[in-house]
Amino acid sequence: RKEVEQDPGPFNVPEGATVAFNCTYSNSASQSFFWYRQDCRKEPKLLMSVYSSGNEDGRFTAQLNRASQYISLLIRDSKLSDSATYLCVVNSPQDSSYKLIFGSGTRLLVRP
Amino acid sequence: ETGVTQTPRHLVMGMTNKKSLKCEQHLGHNAMYWYKQSAKKPLELMFVYSLEERVENNSVPSRFSPECPNSSHLFLHLHTLQPEDSALYLCASSQDPRQGGSVFSEAFFGQGTRLTVV
């Protein structure tokens, strides 16, 4: 089983739509959770951290369910500029290192 | 000045060449990473350095040799690469929570080096 699993998509939605991405992780000891965004041929950039109680940043809402080892990202009122690949990221606790494991990403296409 | 800078941005090399990728971070972080991203594939973690010590090598072939002379600089030395090594190589840095960072210590990426092996 992969450490971080995401639906690869693509999700093809019209402008203004609400879209949700899901992610599951395998290590119950993980403590840090993030969503990154990656545009084509560019480096990943942090979109938002995911807190235990859930958190919102404008049109973006992230949720964490530790019992099910599940993370979600909800995008409301989609814009054309939201088209990108969204990466679920989880830390993999180790004694010797702090490392972030990236999911394979979910591709979002927002059409006019 | 960007937080994490990688050079060169693009590199074409032959299979018998030796080259080095450079990464520099200006964020005061104490952990640095090399990731590989092949076309249409997810990010693969290659190496992790924490406090200038290599703490992880994810079964990377010896033709890739990392070097971390100090907490701000990271190199990836390349020799006798294969065409399948062509990819985007990304450097990242973060603050290791075990050394004073927050548990929400995200990674910041450089713009990457797009490597083509011919």
Mean pLDDT in consecutive groups of 10 residues from the start of chain B, 118 residues: 89 93 94 90 87 77 93 95 95 80 78 96
Residue A96, pLDDT score: 58
Indicate if the pLDDT at residue A95 is higher than 70: no
Nearest CA in chain A to B103: A32
Nearest to B5, CA basis, from B36, B38, B32, B40: B32
- What's at B25, amino acid-wise? Q
- Please give the angle made by the CA atoms of A66, A71 and A72, to the nearest 5 degrees: 140
Distance CA B116, CA B4 (A): 22
From B79's Cα to the closest Cα of chain A, the distance in A is 24
Q: Is the dihedral of CA B41, B33, A42, A34 positive or negative?
A: positive
Of A38 and B95, the one with more pLDDT:
A38
From B113's Cα to the closest Cα of chain A, the distance in A is 10
Indicate if the pLDDT at residue A112 is higher than 80: yes
Residue B106, pLDDT score: 85
CB-based contact A43 B112, cutoff 8 Å: yes
Nearest to B104 among A49, A94, A96 (CB): A49
